[in-house]
Structure 1
């Protein structure tokens, strides 16, 4: 499928990954509708920061994936739907599990049902590597068992299974992308990489982190956005769950030291108990097997971790007003 000229909807378009994907879709010539969560401030999230030439080529609509009438109205007339809207902060899911069910499970079901009603040509549903839980073997392929180690991951597993059920029950043309740990410009301070960078750039000589031993498979956001597009374009991806990862791992402690070296400061790392997940909830190891996405789409990451971190440091340095480094953002 060639996305140029296609009517394409992005839910969660105002967020971190969604905003990068929206920009990229405009650049390749798609007719993009960006669903932004309704709010009384008329804020379009990161879309507000887009270059005027990009913004003028986006049809921006407000709504809420939790409301079926809202979703149905927006999905009508779309050829392709990228569904990214979700609650994603793991610590907050411990405080309000039901909010994650309403947005991630019910919201996803609303999108799927609307797509079924209007015969959408392709749906790309967004999963997460957190659905795997702590690796039972590495690298993690798509056959790895799913483990609900937090209310967030449990809600995403449920959403993934709803997507699978709509493919199997109604032959809905769905592909599920399972990104591993995406980072880059526009990511909020609740994530580990901007947490490290913003604290160091704020001049702190001691930075607070959670557990330092878990490993993650990090992917630069431009590579992740490209993976979404490649999966949408390939006819081979329908009915498939597909990892998007780098096929490498690094511990949080080693990552922090790498970032500190890039910035060039002398900083001490403090393990803050407030930031540590409950013992049985911590995901101790994530490392993606990306064989399947390469076979189906020929996608491969273009950015090394060093390159991506350097670009992220530069962006945060110029946008420190978005970061409250004295507050632990759950």
Structure 2
């Protein structure tokens, strides 16, 4: 995209979305931020970004489930980065219909509006959870899709809606499939903030679910740069591309690494309420990033063990600032 173009970021009030807004602004892009409507006029995490950024974004409050609202937000935009979604896996066990409405119907609203308005590029956000437990590693984009949770099922459906518009109508869609993103501002729904905030709160016994699954963690800046590069690439149209660090580590090992970074000695306590149902747990995620490297200029800067340590250090630094830590309910299990 050019510096004169206007990019819409849906889900801009969330963790990745708010960072992507900052990233695009740093690249000189014009940004319209689509945030979930609320009566308080809150912009979510965008309320806490630097005031210089705030002056340069246009914020629209709405609901991704409403097609009229979505189409109005897309008017005049050249690019769309579609991140708005429900993402918590445990909550998808409790409220699966809301995941269908938000993730599948919301994506349909975005992609239909983009088609009608002749938008130049749509980058649709998928998730590594669509692969389920790895059947081979590293996981390429050709890996079978296996929904092990209602959340994963809704994202598979959303991905297919997006790709169907490319096949049916030549709508210029790319599907980016980030592996486990982490960094400042992430919810304690995710494991890394859960670990950091418990240690920062003085806990010596860290409450977690299963510690044996492995993940391919991506620092937030690498994820944002992947979005940007996919958005620029014509070669990515009609493609699914992994955004993965190509480094695998278990949850248990992640606890040790974070504890070392925070100078703490901890034990792990597995709590039943934090453990996924057996057939729903994704036991191994380890991504292949060769396609995105081939089709774009993207290269992860926080890859490998050393890169992961650097990303964790930056994340710990943010979370342990008193004003930031105060935003979290320490010790409370978040789904």
Q: Secondary structure at the match of 2:280?
A: coil
Q: TM-score, normalising length from structure 2?
A: 0.97
CA contact 1:6–1:79 (8 Å) conserved in 2? yes
What residue in structure 2 maps to residue 235 of structure 1?
234
Is 2:37 aligned against 1:10? no
Deviations 1:113-143 (A, max 9, x none): 0000000000000000000000000000000
Provide the rounded CA distance (Å) in 1 between the counterparts of 2:274 and 2:297: 38
Q: Secondary structure at the match of 2:288?
A: coil
- List runs of 5+ in structure 2 lacking aligned partners: none
SS in 1 for 2:143: coil
Runs of 4+ with deviation above 3 angstroms:
none
Q: Distance in 2 between matches of 1:248 and 1:326?
A: 29
Q: Is residue 88 of structure 2 the alignment partner of residue 89 of structure 1?
A: yes
Of 293-302 and 174-183, deviating more is 293-302
Alignment partner, residue 151 of structure 1: 150
Per the alignment, residue 299 of structure 1 pairs with 298
1:131-179 deviation digits (Å, cap 9, x = unpaired): 0000000000000000010000000000000011000001000000000
TM-fit CA distance, 1:324: 1.1
TM-score (norm 1): 0.99
SS at match of 1:66: coil
1:315 alignment counterpart: 318
Alignment of 1:1-330 (within 5 A): 2-303=1-302, 304-318=307-321, 319-330=324-335
Alpha-carbon shift at residue 311 of structure 1 (Å): 0.3
By how many angstroms is 1:85 displaced? 0.1
Deviation at 1:3, TM superposition (A): 3.1
Tell me how many residue pairs correspond in the alignment.
329
Provide the C-alpha distance between the structure 2 equivalents of 1:252 and 1:266, rounded to a whole number of angstroms: 16
2:33 aligned counterpart, secondary structure: strand
Unaligned 5+ segments in structure 1 are none
Distance in 2 of aligned mates of 1:326 and 1:271:
14
CA distance in structure 1 between the partners assigned to 2:60 and 2:79 by the alignment: 16
Task: Say if 1:216 and 1:251, in contact at 8 Å, map to a contact too.
Answer: yes
Post-superposition Cα deviations, 1:161-212, rounded to whole Å, max 9, x if no partner, equal 0011000001000000000000000100110000000000100111100000
1:52 deviation in Å?
1.3
CA RMSD of aligned residues (A): 0.6
Give the conservation status (yes or no) of the 8 Å contact 1:3–1:28: no
Where 1:280 maps in the other structure, the secondary structure is: helix
